[in-house]
Amino acid sequence: MLRAHTVSRRSIEFREEDVPHLTPGHALVRVHHVALCGTDLHIWDDDYPSELPLVQGHEFVGRIEAIDFGTGDGTAGPEIGTAVAVSPMVYCNECGPCKAGRFNVCESISCLGCYEDGALAEVVRVPVDKLHVLPESMPPRLATLGEPGSIAMQAVNRGTPEAGETALVLGCGPIGLLAILFLSERGVKVIASDLSASRLELARAFGAVATLQAGSGPFPSQEQQQQIDALCPLSGPTLVIEATGVPASFENAVRLAAPTARIVQVGISTHTAALSMRDVPFKELDIRGSRNSLNLIPAALEVLNRHQDLAYQLITHGFELEQLDEAFRTMLDPAQDVGKIVIDMPAGNPA
Ligand SMILES: [Zn+2]
Ligand SMILES: [Zn+2]
C-alpha cells in the first residue's frame, strides 16, 4: 500500500509499504478521504513541534477493513465495511487533566498525523474506541469535516452560549464558519468579521446576522460600531470567539467584548498579544482557551449531516494522493481562496 511521508520541509516521498498488522483492540481502516488544515500546512513547512519524517493526515474518513475488539468489554461494535470517521487524538488517561475529564489537554497528548503517523496512507491501524460510525446517508467525503467541526464545537461549548445573546466571531475560516453554524443552532445572534468579502458571504449562509469586513482602516469603523451597538443591548457582544490566531484580533476581542463577556481563544499562534490590564479587570472578562475537543466528532457530524449543502461549501478543492504536493502549494496561494482541501484516496469516491 502507498503511504505519503513528509520527509523534510516541503518534501513528500511516496513509499510502497506493507499493510499494518491487526492487533487486539484495533481496526484496520481503508482511508477514503483526508482533509487538510492549517496544522498540516505548518507540519509540511517543518514549522511545527513534530519531528519529520511523518505520515500526515488527521482529518479522515474510511471503511473498516478488519477489526479485533480485543479481550475487554468492548466486544461489540461496528462491522467490517462500515464507514467511519476517526478521532486522531491520543490521551494518556493518567495525568491531571485526563483524570479531571479534560483529556483534550492531556499533558502527553498525541495526534495521529501530527505527532505520529497518520492517514495519508491507503490503510491505517487505529484503536477501536477512536472509530465513529457516520450518520446514515452522510457522504464520507463530507464527514472529513467532523474533526474540524469538533474543534469548532469545543470552542462554542467553552463559551457556554445562551440563546438570545449576541456573539462576535472573529475570523471566518472553516473553524470560524462552523462555530457560527453551531452558535446559530443554539439561538445565538452572531456577528462575524473577516478580511475577505467572500468569506463574509459564507458567514451569512452559515447563520451570521451581521458581518463586518476588517481592512486597513480602524476596526470597527464608526458605521460598523453602530451595527454592533444595534445588535448588542449590553455594550458589546457577551461572547467572542477568536478564530484567527492573529494577536491584533485577540486585542480587538478584549476591546470589543461587553462587560462580563466570555472570550474564547481557539486561533493558535506562536506570537504574543498585548493584553489590556485595564479592560480585563474593569469588564471582569472571562478569557478561556479552547483546544482539540472532548470527543465531539459525533455531535459535529450530526449537525453537519443536517446541513449537507452548507457544509459542502466549505470543501473548495479536491486532489488525489499523488498530488499532495500540489495540494499544499494551493493552500499557500491566497488567490485560490482555499476553504477545505480534501485528498481523495484511491479507495474514495471523489464525487
Ligand atoms: Zn486539523
Ligand atoms: Zn493525560
Domain with CATH 3.90.180.10 in the chain: 2-145+314-344
| Whether the Cβ atoms of residue 280 and residue 254 lie closer than 8 Å to each other | yes
Give me ligand 1 centre to Cα 169, in Å.
19
Give me ligand 1 centre to Cα 99, in Å.
25
Q: Which residue has the cell 467572542?
A: 240
Give me ligand 2 centre to Cα 61, in Å.
25
The residues with which 127 forms a beta bridge, in sequence order, are 26
The residues with which 31 forms a beta bridge, in sequence order, are 62
| Whether the Cβ atoms of residue 239 and residue 260 lie closer than 8 Å to each other | no
Closest ligand by atom to 292 CA: 1
Going across the sheet that includes 262-265, the strands are: 210-213, 189-194, 166-170, 239-242, 262-265, 286-289
Cβ density class 29-57: b for 16+ within 10 Å, e for less: bbbbbbbbbebbbbbbeeebebeeebbbb
Give me ligand 2 centre to Cα 337, in Å.
37
Q: What span, in angstroms and rounded, lies between the C-alpha atoms of 141 and 351?
A: 8
Q: For residue 170, give the nearest of 213, 232, 229 by alpha carbon.
A: 213
Give me ligand 1 centre to Cα 233, in Å.
36
Give me ligand 2 centre to Cα 293, in Å.
14
Which CATH number fits the domain 152-289, given the four candidates 3.40.50.10790, 3.30.1280.10, 3.40.50.720, 3.40.50.150? 3.40.50.720
Give me ligand 1 centre to Cα 35, in Å.
8
Closest ligand by atom to 41 CA: 1
Give me ligand 2 centre to Cα 107, in Å.
5
Give me ligand 2 centre to Cα 294, in Å.
13
Question: Domain spanning 2-145+314-344 has what CATH number?
Answer: 3.90.180.10
pLDDT at 47: 92
Nearest 5 degrees, angle CA 93-CA 63-CA 57?
Answer: 60
Give me ligand 1 centre to Cα 283, in Å.
33
pLDDT at 75: 64
pLDDT in single tens digits along all 351 residues of the chain: 999 999 999 999 999 999 999 999 999 999 999 999 999 999 999 999 999 999 999 999 999 999 999 876 656 789 999 999 999 999 999 999 999 999 999 999 999 999 999 999 999 999 999 999 999 999 999 999 999 999 999 999 999 999 999 999 999 999 999 999 999 999 999 999 999 999 999 999 999 999 999 998 899 999 999 999 999 988 999 999 999 999 999 999 999 999 999 999 999 998 999 999 999 999 999 999 999 999 999 999 999 999 999 999 999 999 999 999 999 999 999 899 899 999 999 999 876
Residue 214 DSSP SS3: coil
Q: Which residue has the cell 496544522?
A: 39
Closest ligand by atom to 152 CA: 1
pLDDT tens digit string along 256-288?
999 999 999 999 998 999 999 999 999 999 999
Q: For residue 35, give the nearest of 181, 147, 194, 187 by alpha carbon.
A: 147
Give me ligand 1 centre to Cα 255, in Å.
29
pLDDT at 72: 64
Q: What span, in angstroms and rounded, lies between the C-alpha atoms of 170 and 219?
A: 12
pLDDT at 262: 98
Give me ligand 1 centre to Cα 281, in Å.
34
Q: pTM of the prediction? A: 0.96
Give me ligand 1 centre to Cα 216, in Å.
29
Give me ligand 2 centre to Cα 25, in Å.
20
pLDDT at 73: 61
C-alpha cell at 143: 464527514
Closest ligand by atom to 110 CA: 2
| Whether the Cβ atoms of residue 130 and residue 74 lie closer than 8 Å to each other | no
Q: How many CA atoms lie within 13 A of 139 on its CB side?
A: 13
Domain with CATH 3.40.50.720 in the chain: 152-289
Q: For residue 50, give the nearest of 103, 117, 106 by alpha carbon.
A: 117
Q: How many CA atoms lie within 13 A of 34 on its CB side?
A: 33
Residue 58 DSSP SS3: coil
C-alpha cell at 254: 478584549
